[in-house]
């Protein structure tokens, strides 16, 4: 009986494959066996993606291109499974529990799993939240793809929240300068520590935010620029 672990691993792999197939079927509302950007967005929203439709279009195009799919055609079950199992930046990794929670939130008999369907990331600050808590919650709110870093798109949403009104080209320049100042790789993005340094820095190089501003950001991290 030395292969018990292998058997358990095989059973877990089978269960995950079935979970992925069930989620694919739940998303595939048109029965095309291909997922469009809009269909996959439902899963992204469940995982607390807070970007705009334009942000998601960019994310979906990037996912498709990174994995050899055509955005206009969509993702088949094989590619869908591939991205859900991929922990790198090219993927869209989901744990089994996240997949189950999604199914629980979309199925008819959701009463038993409704309480588990809320993502643990959907935390809101309360009056007792410390400043480090607020900074972390704001960072997580902007980190829609849960990469652990904020890329140029995520940081642009932060910039909008702090009053930036320039266009994409102007932001690309500001982002490059920001990364340079903080020793960040623009392709990787801004880490939580760099983000904390930035919002705590009241010099000309920083982007100081009050606790109140951080608190409002944790609620509106996916907001688009007003005006």
- Alpha-carbon 5 to chain mean position: 33
pLDDT of 126 reads 58
pLDDT-wise least confident of 20-34, 110-124, 133-147, 205-219 = 110-124
3-state SS assignment for residue 10: helix
Rounded distance between C-alpha atoms, residue 98 and residue 104, angstroms: 10
Structure tokens at 143: 């980190």
List residues bridging with 75 in a β-sheet.
35
pLDDT-wise least confident of 10-19, 32-41, 101-110, 142-151 = 101-110
- Which uninterrupted H or E stretch holds 131? helix 131-142
Q: Mean pLDDT, to the nearest integer, of 103-131? A: 51
Rounded to 10 degrees, the C-alpha dihedral 36/41/44/49 comes to 140
Residue 170's pLDDT band (cuts 50, 70, 90)? very high
CB neighbours of 14 closer than 8 A, spacing ≥ 6?
none
The conformation of residue 190, written as its DSSP 8-state character, comes to: B
- Cβ distance 87 to 14 under 8 Å? no
Structure tokens at 84: 């859900």
3-state SS assignment for residue 183: coil
pLDDT score of 17 more than 50: yes
Structure tokens at 220: 């509106």
Structure tokens at 198: 């930035």
Whose tokens are 């932001």? That residue is 171
CB neighbours of 188 closer than 8 A, spacing ≥ 6?
149, 151
List residues bridging with 150 in a β-sheet.
190
Q: Mean pLDDT, to the nearest integer, of 175-197? A: 90
pLDDT of 226 reads 44
Indicate the pTM of the whole model.
0.46
Angle at 89 between CA 55 and CA 209, to 5 degrees: 55
pLDDT score of 119 more than 80: no
42-86 pLDDT, tens digit each: 888 887 787 888 888 888 988 898 888 898 899 999 999 999 998
6-15 burial, b at 16+ Cβ within 10 Å, e below that, comes to: eeeeeeeeee
- Cβ distance 213 to 172 under 8 Å? no
Q: Mean pLDDT, to the nearest integer, of 193-220? A: 84
């Amino acid at each position: 009986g030395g292969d018990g672990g292998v058997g358990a691993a095989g059973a877990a792999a089978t269960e995950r494959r079935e979970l992925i197939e069930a989620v694919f079927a739940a998303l595939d509302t048109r029965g095309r066996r291909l997922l469009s950007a809009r269909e996959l967005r439902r899963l992204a929203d469940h995982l607390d993606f807070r970007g705009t439709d334009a942000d998601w279009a960019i994310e979906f195009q990037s996912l498709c291109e990174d994995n050899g799919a055509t955005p206009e055609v969509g993702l088949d079950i094989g590619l869908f499974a591939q991205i859900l199992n991929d922990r790198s930046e090219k993927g869209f990794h989901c744990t089994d529990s996240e997949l189950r929670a999604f199914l629980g939130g979309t199925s008819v008999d959701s009463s038993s799993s409704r309480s588990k369907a809320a993502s643990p990331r959907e935390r809101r600050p309360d009056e007792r939240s410390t400043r480090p808590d607020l900074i972390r919650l704001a960072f997580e709110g902007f980190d829609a793809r849960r990469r652990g870093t904020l890329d140029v798109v995520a940081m642009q949403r932060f910039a909008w929240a702090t009053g930036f009104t320039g266009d994409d080209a102007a932001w690309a320049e500001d982002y490059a300068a920001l990364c340079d100042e903080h020793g960040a790789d623009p392709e990787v993005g801004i880490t939580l520590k760099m983000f904390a340094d930035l919002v705590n820095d009241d010099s000309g190089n920083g982007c100081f935010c009050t606790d109140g501003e951080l608190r409002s950001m944790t609620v509106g991290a996916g907001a688009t620029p007003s005006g």
